[in-house]
């Protein structure tokens, strides 16, 4: 283990734990691989709280923060829950610094989204925290339920329940004609 962090890992085949150990030792390629695996989850947590044009910056801030703090993460296997916690905290801080979300705030991205996408995102944001985060991971970032579970530390059953309950609420609200 002592030399593990000095050995270059195959970032395509490595487990999250192996990537974390390598990144703790300073391997930027390993950290890049962690980014590839987790950036969509982090973005979903940000998008649940801040405007689309700001969510990308929250992602970069989270990973910059993670790069500096990673050597102090004692249990590499805890990385998914750890990065999710950093992301949630950063997103909440960013939301506090910004004025309340205006409908136009989600249109100011490049390339611009469809208007129905902005309306659907607003409807998701109006759901309780647990449902909106999982739904954004699934519907915006395209992660499957098992992937969401693996990347957040939630149990597969919890993810399934959150997705179905959240989707039921979302369909009701979109069906009311207010958002689509």
Partner 1 sequence: MTDPLYDKTGGDPELAALEAALGDYAHRAPLREPPPRRVRRPARVIAAVLGGALTVLVVVVLGRRGEPGCQGDGAGFAFAVDGAPARCAGSPAARGTLPVGAWLETTGAATADVRIADIGHLTVFGDSRVRLVDTGAAGHRLELARGRIAARVTAPPRLFVVDTPVASAVDLGCAYELAVEPDGRTRLRVTSGAVSLEARGRAAYAPMDTEVLAAPGRGPGTPVALTASAELRDAVARFDAGDRTAVAAIVVAAGPGDTATLWNLLAQTDREDRAAVFARLDALTPLPADISADAVRAGDPDAIARWRDALVDRWMCVGCFGKSKR
Shortest distance (Å) from residue 116 CB to partner 1: 5
Contact present, 170 and 139 (Cβ < 8 Å): no
Only one of the segments 6-14, 76-84, 125-133, 143-151 lies at the binding site for partner 1 (rule: CB under 8 A); that segment is: 143-151
Shortest distance (Å) from residue 157 CB to partner 1: 10
Only one of the segments 12-20, 80-88, 104-112, 125-133 lies at the binding site for partner 1 (rule: CB under 8 A); that segment is: 104-112
Q: Nearest 5°: phi and psi at 119?
A: -65, -40
Residue 68's CB is within 10 A of a number of other CB atoms, namely 8
Among 94, 127, 154, 169, binds partner 1 (CB under 8 A): 94
Contact present, 51 and 118 (Cβ < 8 Å): no
DSSP letter, residue 141: S
Greatest pairwise CA separation for the chain in angstroms: 60
Shortest distance (Å) from residue 131 CB to partner 1: 12
Nearest CA to 92 out of 49, 55, 121, 128 is that of 49
Q: Which residues of the chain form contacts with partner 1 (CB under 8 A)? A: 26, 28, 31-32, 35, 39-40, 43, 47, 50-61, 63-64, 67-68, 71, 94, 97-99, 102-117, 120-121, 136, 138-142, 144-146, 159-160, 163-164, 167, 171
């Amino acid at each position: 283990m002592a030399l593990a962090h000095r050995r270059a890992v195959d970032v395509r085949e490595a487990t999250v734990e192996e990537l974390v150990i390598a990144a703790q030792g300073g391997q930027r390629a390993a950290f890049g691989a962690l980014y590839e695996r987790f950036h969509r989850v982090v973005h979903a947590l940000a998008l649940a709280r801040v405007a689309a044009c700001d969510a990308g910056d929250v992602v970069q801030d989270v990973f910059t923060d993670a790069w500096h703090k990673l050597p102090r993460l004692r249990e590499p296997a805890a990385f998914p829950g750890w990065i999710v916690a950093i992301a949630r905290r950063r997103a909440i801080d960013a939301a506090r610094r910004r004025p309340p979300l205006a409908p136009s705030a989600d249109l100011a991205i490049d390339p611009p989204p469809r208007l129905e996408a902005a309306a659907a995102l607003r409807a998701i944001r109006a759901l309780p925290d647990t449902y909106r985060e999982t739904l954004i991971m699934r519907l915006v970032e395209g992660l499957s339920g098992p992937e969401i579970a693996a990347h957040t530390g939630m149990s597969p059953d919890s993810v399934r329940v959150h997705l179905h309950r959240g989707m039921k609420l979302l369909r009701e609200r979109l069906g009311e004609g207010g958002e689509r």
